[in-house]
Structure 1
Amino acid sequence: MSNAAVITPVGGPSLPQERRLVTAIPGPRSQELLERKAAAVAAGVGHTAPIAAVAAGGGVILDADGNSLIDLGSGIAVTSVGNAHPKVVEAVQQQVAQFTHTCFMVSPYESYVAVAEALNRITPGAFAKKSALFNSGAEAVENAVKIARKYTRKQAVVAFDHGYHGRTNLTMALTAKAMPYKSGFGPFASEVYRAPMSYPFHDGLTGPEAAKRAIAMMTKQIGAENLAAIIIEPIQGEGGFIVPADGFLPALLDWCHANDVVFIADEVQTGFARTGAMFASEVFGIVPDLITTAKGIAGGLPLAAVTGRAEIMDAAHAGGLGGTYGGNPVACAAAVAAIEVFENDGLIERARAIGVILQERLHALQAADPRVGEVRGRGAMVAAEFVDPTTGEPDAALTSAIAKQCIAEGVVVLTCGTYGNVIRFLPPLSIGDDLLNEGLDVVASALAAH
């Protein structure tokens, strides 16, 4: 934007924590950027909120027109510690001044090792662990599958209905939703199979019943002797924040261990205090063999990891894992600072407190409006599923209308779900109660208007 420099706000916690609309959304400066985007950026790269962001922090995003929007999405669960957190900013500035890259596979550096040590310590499991660092959640998932195949000397991999694992070729094969993630992009990687997920709102099964159904499918259609790994999100993200019934995940884990199958927990969206525990696996009392992480790990910088049992992680030969930018020193410095914030600044407790507000407010909406079919989630990862109250069928049109009105009124919300009928709430853990409640007021008003 030619005149974007007129606004030079300071980001981070110093931003006024308020919803403020000074123009319609998009305003003229944001619209100018959107026009440039349409001309310069590939059409396949979409966007949710039609704004040009210039600063963010606490619980708000400021656009180029001076509008201040309440952020209930955290860049899809990335800025959990808060955008431009001072400790992350300081760590990044110090590292940038020292060096920006050497490639860890060429000349190692301390911050990569420090991140690996921290992940080995804070992920579930008292056994010896090792980690490898990558750039994105999809890259972490690909490498977890590589490691599991190498360790087991088997090839088949099972993912689950409604699961989302990324946009690369292998992770598209693992992902359950065709549009917009898979349609027209095949053929996909082979030896990937899909098992039924526990979805209590729709299937009515107990956890053990749902696990028995999935295990029967895996046994009959694949055979444990051919199965290297299963990969599952403890709470599904893009699929609709689906929380499996109690007992489902432990039963799958027990079956995996009895059959030499690696259990991979995809905690890319659920990790780092988001669910009111450091990792969602802890919520369900499971200890995965491998965990993939990304999103919230580095306070907004691109970083991802695979962490797990040392004997599994060490299965890959030297040079078999890595990547030019994997474990970039600037991102690693940010991650060390962010993990320190997660551990020492009460963010797990804050996620639980946010969850109480979200659950109470959304359950009140559900009690008053039968179109809110279910409210579910853990901690600061909560969603509402919208349905036709007569048929119970998914209502994607209502969901889209609510989300668009919220954004127009200065509240950024994200939709999700296999059927596009879920609004997910992922506020930064730095958001204040007043701002969170104001954002939920806008959601309630949007629902009432439709």
Structure 2
Amino acid sequence: MSQVEERTARALLRRLAVEQSESRVPSIVAAIVRDGEPVWFGARGQAGGAAPTADTQYRLGSITKSMVAVVVMRLRDEGLLDLLDPVGGHVPGTPFDGVTIAQLLSHTGGLTAEPPTDWWERTPGLGAEELFARIGPSEAKHRPGRTLHYSNVGYALLGRLIAKHRGTGWYEALRHEVLEPLGMTRTTPRPLAPHATGYAVHPWADAVLEEPEHDHGAMGPAGQLWSSAADLGRWAAFLCGETGGVLSPQTLAEMGEVAVVADGDTWVSGFGLGLQMARIEGRRLTGHGGSMPGFLSGVWAQAGAGTGVLFLANTTSGVRFQLLNELLDILDEHEPRLPQEWRPVAADPALLALTGLWHWGPTPFHLRLQPDGKLLLTAVANSSRGSRFVPQADGTWLGLDGYYAGETLRVGADHLDLNTFILTREPYQPGTPIPGGIAGEWHA
């Protein structure tokens, strides 16, 4: 599987070996993908009496949630629901009927973190009817939308929503709509050989204890799945944008927009729609972590770089959070990406004529034509009011991001009308339709 140079592979394997040894992990596997393809795989320790391979299954834990979220987004894209819909309009009868689907996806619905059952991760699960019959008003812990409060129960409710719309179980919908199209044939709700056994490692001795594993019933969408490094590599490629027709690039990008942060103004972690976000040493990462008794996992995608990284381990605790970022550090140090070659692109003369300097009142902006045919508006200095614009069938341009996301740009004979703001070639250019008029001339 390895496509990195031998020196790089050795450095990556050494970092993984240090993690397995110092954190006392029975077995651990890790992989890196670039541009949709696996470029490195490493393994340390033993699973079932042998070295684990890229096909050895481990428990994913909460990475399951991201996959469930993709099915919900597919329902949205099909017009079967809106993210602002109260979930009670689709699966009524819980104390959370007024919580929106978007709030469930982003853990901002205020729901309790864990169900009112025995420790659900270590016991057989209940069916949906029995589980939600136990959930009362006291399981609403915060006002919806107020704060990030991670909720496994929220994803149980989303699994019920999927079953309602698809007429089948959440996993069957996920398998048919996401896993099979992506080639993830080793991602299943229960373990298939070869698979690792989950262990707890004694905190004060080098001894292990086998952890239980069950079908978690209605709580399954919160963390049921098992997978392999090969399959999770395909998922990492998906998060990097290799969507295989499962989602549109626009919907995947929407999932990766920050909905809520976990740590204040200078945030380093937060959530989008089913995806975790992290900012680590200049990297913007999207993915999810996972834990279940006996297992830890993580997958990050650096979408702008087309790079994904993952690990799977059969231990209840111990793997250090910085492992995945340090693997990316090693890759970037040893084999940094080359910038894409610049090549000239044919340009529409009418669009070329639009490029150059424009002014919003006295504030200068540059308008550039992008290789993909979009227009990029950026301030010359000291303004955040920029955006990319994509052409529309009616001759207007739609803002894609920044201040003008969703707003309309109209091109006039000698001016630009950006949602009522008039941009001119000269500051407050006479003879252009500037609302409020121009009082006199520039003077001292």
- Compare the two structures and name the one with the higher strand fraction: 2
* Structure number with higher relative contact order (C-alpha < 8 Å, ≥ 6 residues apart): 1
- Compare the two structures and name the one with the higher helix fraction: 1
TM-score range, shorter chain: under 0.3
Larger C-alpha radius of gyration, 1 or 2?
A: 2
